[in-house]
């Protein structure tokens, strides 16, 4: 399988894991070192377990906010050499109250051991209502990482056990 086809298959599997908020399946796609960039707040992760625990906390919070399943559309995809790629996805998250959240996430990937792994995630801004792909009173722009970090900031421990400072 070529790397383009492998990237498409990778996101099909990743999308299923994210849609079901499956922490172990999602984090199995991560590789260290790992970087998160949430509205310019950059964190470098060098150990897997703290990142897995943070992902578990975030997914629990998403579920409590009504997240029930998700699907994605590829917005942009760029290969950088043969071993790196950047992909932007637009996620449509179905909520328990029959409303939708829509958010954009950028992923940086590396080709490792004959497969793609995520080495970074970026959520910089929330799209304006006019930028939503369909006009519906049941949809709203949502930046899950930024909202979760604002709500859970005192509980999220970043590398070296420094809690976020969102007080």
CATH code for position 59: 3.10.450.50
* Cβ contacts of 91 within 8 Å, gap of 6 or more: 18, 70, 71, 72, 101, 102, 103, 104, 105
Residue 112 belongs to some domain of the structure: yes
Long-range contacts, 90-93 (Cβ 8 Å, 24+): 90/133, 91/18, 92/133, 93/67, 93/68, 93/69, 93/142, 93/144
Is there a domain that residue 36 lies in? yes
Nearest to 74 by CA among 58, 53, 93, 89: 89
The pLDDT, as a whole number, for residue 161 is 43
| pLDDT tens digits for range 131-145 | 444 555 555 555 666
Cβ contacts of 28 within 8 Å, gap of 6 or more: none
Establish whether the linkage from the previous residue to 51 is cis, with ω within 30° of 0: no
Domain-embedded: residue 163: no
Residue 130, domain member (yes or no)? yes
pLDDT for 61-108, tens place per residue? 999 989 999 999 999 999 999 999 999 999 998 888 888 888 899 999
In a domain, 165, yes or no: no
Domain of 53, in residue numbers: 3-146
Q: What global pTM score does this model have?
A: 0.81
Statement: residue 162 has pLDDT above 50: no
Residue 154 lies in a domain: no
Please state the rounded mean pLDDT for residues 161-166. Answer: 43
Residue 140 inside a domain? The answer is yes
Residue for token digits 């004959």? Answer: 114
Tell me if 22 is assigned to some domain. yes
Question: How many domains does one find in the chain?
Answer: 1
- Nearest CA to 105 out of 76, 85, 82, 78 is that of 76
């Amino acid at each position: 399988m070529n790397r383009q086809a492998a990237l498409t298959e990778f996101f099909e599997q990743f999308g299923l894991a994210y849609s079901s908020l499956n922490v172990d399946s999602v984090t199995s796609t991560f590789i260290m070192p790992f970087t998160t960039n949430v509205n310019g707040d950059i964190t470098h992760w060098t150990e897997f377990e703290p990142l897995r625990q943070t992902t578990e906390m975030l997914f629990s919070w998403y579920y409590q906010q009504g997240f029930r399943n998700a699907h994605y559309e590829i917005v942009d995809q760029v290969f950088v050499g043969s071993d790196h790629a950047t992909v932007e996805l637009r996620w449509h998250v179905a909520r328990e109250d029959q409303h939708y959240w829509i958010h954009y996430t950028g992923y940086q990937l590396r080709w490792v051991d004959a497969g793609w792994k995520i080495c970074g995630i970026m959520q910089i801004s929330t799209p304006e209502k006019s930028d939503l792909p369909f006009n519906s009173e049941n949809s709203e722009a949502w930046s899950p990482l930024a909202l979760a970090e604002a709500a859970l900031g005192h509980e999220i421990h970043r590398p070296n056990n420094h809690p976020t400072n969102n007080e």
